[in-house]
Chain A
Amino acid sequence: MAGGLVITIVFWNVAKRSHVLSHLACLAQSSSVDVFLLAECIQEISPTINELNGLNQGSYHDETTAPAKVRAITRLSRGAFDHHYTNRHMAIWTLQSSKLEQPEILVAGIHLPSKTAGPNDADQIVAASDLVKELVEIEDRHAHRNTILVGDFNMNPYDDGMTSVAGVHGLMTKELARRQDRRYNNKRYRRFYNPMWGMFGDQTPGPPGSYYWRSSVLHNTHWQMFDQLLFRPSVIDWFDGLQIMEHDGSHTLLGRNSAPDDQYLSDHLPVLFRLDI
Chain B
Amino acid sequence: MSSPIPNLWSPLIRPKVLSPRTILRAQALELPKMTGGLLEADIVESQVTKEGAEEVRTVLSFDIVAPSLNYRHRILSLAYEKDMPYPVFVEAEALGFRSSIFLRAFLNASLAPGERINRADSDEALVLLLKKVFTSSEVLGITQSIIARATDTIEMADLEEQSSIADAERSEGSADAGPGVAGPDEE
Contact = CB atoms under 8 A, between A and B. Distances in A.
A126 B44 contact: no
Contact of B93 (A88, A94, A126): A88
A87 B138 CA distance: 12
Interface residues of A, number: 25
Nearest to A138: B72
Contact of B52 (A113, A129, A185): A185
A90 B71 CA distance: 14
B130 interface: no
A130 B93 CA distance: 14
A84 interface: yes
Nearest to A126: B104
A88 B100 contact: yes
A94, A123, A185: most-surrounded residue (chain B CB, <10 A): A123
A171 to B, nearest CB: 22
A98 interface: no
B71 A84 contact: yes
Contact of B71 (A85, A127, A129): A85
A118 B101 CA distance: 11
Interface string B60-78: 0000001001111110000
B159 interface: no
Interface string A198-234: 0000000000000000000000000000000000000
Interface residues of B, number: 25
Contacts of A66: 71, 73, 141-142, 145-146, 149
Nearest to B48: A133
B56 to A, nearest CB: 13
A82 B138 contact: no
Interface in B138-169: 138, 141-142, 145-146, 149
A86 B69 CA distance: 13
B138 A130 contact: no
B144 to A, nearest CB: 8
Interface in A162-198: 166, 185
A118 B142 contact: no
12 contacts: A85-B72, A86-B73, A86-B74, A87-B73, A87-B74, A94-B70, A113-B97, A126-B100, A133-B46, A137-B44, A137-B46, A185-B52
Given A65-B66, A126-B108, A133-B46, 14 more contacts: A65-B69, A65-B73, A82-B71, A84-B70, A85-B74, A86-B73, A88-B100, A118-B97, A118-B98, A119-B97, A126-B101, A130-B104, A137-B44, A137-B46
Counting from the closest, the 4 A-B pairs by CB-CB distance are: A66-B145, A87-B74, A126-B104, A66-B142
